[in-house]
Structure 1
Amino acid sequence: MILEGTILRGPSFDAVEGRVVVEDDRIVAIEEDEVYSDDIVLPAFVNAHTHVGDSIAKEAGEGLSLEELVAPPDGLKHRLLREADRSELVAAMERSLDYMEQSGTGAFVEFREGGVEGVRALDDALEGSRLESVVLGRESVDVLEVADGFGASGANDADFSSERRATRRADKLFGIHAGEVDTTDINPALDLDPDFLVHLVQAEPLHLNRVEDSGMPVAVCPRSNLVTDVGLPPVEELIERTTVALGTDNVFLNSPSMFREMEFTAKLYDLTAHEVLAMATGNGAELAGLDCGVLEVGRPARLTVLDGNSDNLAGAQNPVRAVVRRAGTSDVKRVVLPES
C-alpha cells in the first residue's frame, strides 16, 4: 500500500511531501518526493479515556449534577446500564466504535462498567472492529481475568488497594479518576501509584509537583469537564510536567470525536497545534503502552488520511494547525488499520 501527500512524520509532525509505504500492516518507508496529491497523512488518533457503554443514553440527564449523572452505584448512567438489554447495549457500542473509526481514531482506552460481563459485552461489540482497544474493567478484581487492567472510579468511592496489587501481579494497567470534583481524592489516588490519572481538574501546586516527581501520565477530557460544570483541567501546567493525553469521556455527554476534542482544547488553551496533536496521538499511546500514535518506519500502520482538497481544508497553509483546529470527520478520506 502506498499513501501519498503531505506526511506528518515523527513525534514532531514534520510536514513533508512524499509517500508512506506500508507492507504487512507496518510502515516500511517514508519517502520524500514531489507527489500530486493533496492528502494529509497522519497517525490515527488514540482516544485516551472513554466510557463507550454510555452509548445507550446519548444526551440523557440534562440539568443533573456530575454526581447525579455518573456516581456509582446509583447515578443515572449506572441505573440505565443495569436496566439495558444486553443486545441493545452491544448494538449501541458497535455504532460508537464505528463512528470512532470513521472519525480517524485507531485506538482507545476504555473504563468499562459492568464487571466481567460488561467487558465481555464490549468484546462482542468489538468483534470485527479494526480498533485497538485497551479495556479497563471495573467493580470487581475478577475483571482482570478478561480485561487489560482496572479502571477505578475514584479514591473516595472505595479502597482500591487490592485492585492495585492485583494489577501489578497480573502486569496490567491501573488507571483512576482523580480531582474531577474537588481535591480530596487526588493524594489518595497518587498514593496508589497508578499507571495514569484521569481528569485532575482541581489539581493544586502540591498535586502537580507529585505528578511531575512521579512522572505520572494524565488523561484530560476538557469538553466533558465543561459539560458537567466541574471546571477545566490545568492543561498548560500539566503539559510542562508530564505526558498529557486527550480523551472524550462519556459517550452520553460527548461524541467520541477526537477532532472536536482537539479543536476545543486548541482554542481554549495556550498550546501549539503540535502539542495538541501529540495529546491526541502519541501521548495517548504512551499512556496506554501502545505502539502507535507516531508515523515512523517500523511502526504499525495505524493511519488517518484526510482530503486536503475538501471544501473545508482546501487552501490551508499549515497542515498541522488545519488538522487540529479545522478538520472534521467529513474530511476523512481513509483510515488505515490492521484487519482484526
Structure 2
Amino acid sequence: MDELTGTILAGESFEALSGRVVVEDGRITAVEEQQTDSTDIVLPAFVNAHTHLGDSVAKDAAVGLSLEEAVVPPDSLKHRRLAAADRDELVTAMRRTLRYMSQTGTVSCLDFREFGVEGARALREAGEGTGAEPFIFGSGPPSVLDVADGYGASGANDDDFSAERAAAEERNMPFAIHAGEPNATDIHPALDLAPDLLIHMVHAEQEHLDRVAEQSVPIAACPRTNSVLEVGRPPIRELLDHTTVALGTDNVMLNPPSMFREMAYTEREFDVTPREVLRMATTAGAEIAGLDCGVIEPGRRAALIVLDGDSHNLAGTDNPIESVVRRATGRDVKRVVS
C-alpha cells in the first residue's frame, strides 16, 4: 500500500481537499479528507493528446520554416530527416523524449507515428520501460493496425483515407485525422470520415463547430505549435463550448513536450479557466484514448503527479489549481506515480 498526502485535486471538478490518496496494486482505493502537515499537491498525471515523437531526431531543426516546409509530407524537412535516421537513432531519440515526458508528469501520449508498420514497431520499442506509454496512431496501409492502437491520417486533402477508416471501424479501433490547420478546406471532408478525433481545428467556423457537436467528435488542440508555425490561433473557447477538447504539444522538433508549458500558454492566451485547462491536460486526453486515469477517485488507475508545494516556486500559493496551471514546472515534480 502507498499513501500520498497533501492537497488533493480530487474528482472531475478537481476539488482541492486536504487529505490522502491510498494506492494499492496500481489502483486508487481511497481518497480521504483529513488534516495533514504535507505541503505536497497531488493531481492526475497528464495525457498529452497529440505528439509526433519521431521528430525527436530533429529538435529545433524546423524553427522559422513554414508549415509546408517544416512538416507537410512527403518532402518537408521533417520527413527528410526521418527518412535519413537509422532505426537505432530513431528509437533512442524517441525513448529519451518519452523519459523526459515521464519525468515531467506525462503517463501517456497520443502519437501520430509515421512510416507504417515499422514506424509503429519502433515507437512501441521506444516506449518500453519509460513510464510514458505511447498510444500509437499508425500511418500507411491499413495493416499498420496490426501493431498500432489506432489510425492517424495526415489530412483529408492529402489522400483518400476511406479504406483506412473502414479498416479501423472493422477492428473497433479509433481513427484520428488532422483538420483545419493551414485553412478550413479539409474540415468537412475530415468530418465526412466520421473520425473519433480531430487534430488542430485552428480555422474551424460555426458550420464546422455545429457538425463537431452533432457528431460528438473530440478535438486535440496544440496552440503552441500553431503559434510557432504561424498558422493561426485555435478558437479554444468555441471548441470547448461544442465538444471535448484535450491539449497536445505536437511536433517535438518545434516544442518540448511539456504539458506545464502548454497549460500555462493556453491559460494565458485564451478565454479559458485554469480548471478547464487542467481538464484538457488530464481527463480529456485520457477519455479520448480510453485510459482509466485522468481523475483522482477510488477505482481509477493510480496515475498521479506529486508536486512539491514547498518548492521555491510554489511555496505560499493561495490557489493550487491556478498554481498548477500557471506556475508549476517540471522542476516542481517530486514524484510521478504510474
TM superposition score category, shorter chain reference:
over 0.9
Alpha-carbon deviations, 1:44-96, whole Å to 9, x = none? 00000000110010000233210111111111111100000111111111110
Indicate conservation of the 8 Å contact 2:99/2:131, yes or no: no
Alpha-carbon deviations, 1:145-172, whole Å to 9, x = none? 1000110000000000000000001111
1:8 aligned onto 2:9: yes
Give the CA deviation at 1:132.
3.0
Q: Which residue of 2 aligns with 1:159?
A: 160
Give the CA deviation at 1:335.
0.1
The count of corresponding residues between Structure 1 and Structure 2 is 337
Give the CA deviation at 1:228.
0.3
Q: Which residue of 2 aligns with 1:76?
A: 77
Matched ranges for 1:104-253 at <5 A: 104-253=105-254
Give the CA deviation at 1:131.
2.1
Amino acid at match of 1:46: V
Indicate conservation of the 8 Å contact 2:124/2:134, yes or no: no
Amino acid at match of 2:139: R
Alpha-carbon deviations, 1:236-273, whole Å to 9, x = none? 00101100000000000000000000000000012111
1:282 aligned onto 2:259: no
Amino acid at match of 1:74: D
In terms of mean alpha carbon deviation, does 65-74 or 174-183 score higher?
A: 65-74
Q: Hey, what's the Cα distance between the residues in 1 that align with 2:122 and 2:180? A: 29
Indicate conservation of the 8 Å contact 2:59/2:254, yes or no: yes
Over the aligned positions, Cα root-mean-square deviation in angstroms equals 0.7
**Between the two proteins, what is the percent identity of the paired residues?**
62
Amino acid at match of 2:37: Y
Q: Which residue of 1 aligns with 2:47?
A: 46
Q: Hey, what's the Cα distance between the residues in 2 that align with 1:238 and 1:186? A: 14
Indicate conservation of the 8 Å contact 2:57/2:93, yes or no: yes
Please give the TM-score of this superposition, normalised by the length of structure 1. Answer: 0.98
Indicate conservation of the 8 Å contact 2:236/2:271, yes or no: no
3-state SS of the aligned residue for 1:333? strand
Q: Which residue of 1 aligns with 2:334?
A: 333
3-state SS of the aligned residue for 1:232? coil
3-state SS of the aligned residue for 2:4? strand
1:318 aligned onto 2:319: yes
Matched ranges for 1:254-293 at <5 A: 254-293=255-294
Amino acid at match of 2:10: R
Q: Hey, what's the Cα distance between the residues in 2 that align with 1:36 and 1:155? A: 54
In terms of mean alpha carbon deviation, does 137-146 or 149-158 score higher?
A: 137-146
Please give the TM-score of this superposition, normalised by the length of structure 2. Answer: 0.99
Give the CA deviation at 1:220.
0.2
Alpha-carbon deviations, 1:254-296, whole Å to 9, x = none? 0000000000000001211100000000011111121111111
Give the CA deviation at 1:134.
1.0
Give the CA deviation at 1:142.
1.4
Gaps of 5+ in 1: none
Give the CA deviation at 1:106.
1.1
Q: Hey, what's the Cα distance between the residues in 2 that align with 1:63 and 1:260? A: 20
Alpha-carbon deviations, 1:100-139, whole Å to 9, x = none? 0011111110000011000111111112122232101012
Q: Hey, what's the Cα distance between the residues in 1 that align with 2:82 and 2:291? A: 29
Q: Hey, what's the Cα distance between the residues in 1 that align with 2:141 and 2:81? A: 19
Amino acid at match of 1:269: F
Amino acid at match of 1:256: P
3-state SS of the aligned residue for 2:212? helix
3-state SS of the aligned residue for 1:230? coil
Give the CA deviation at 1:206.
0.4
3-state SS of the aligned residue for 2:242? coil
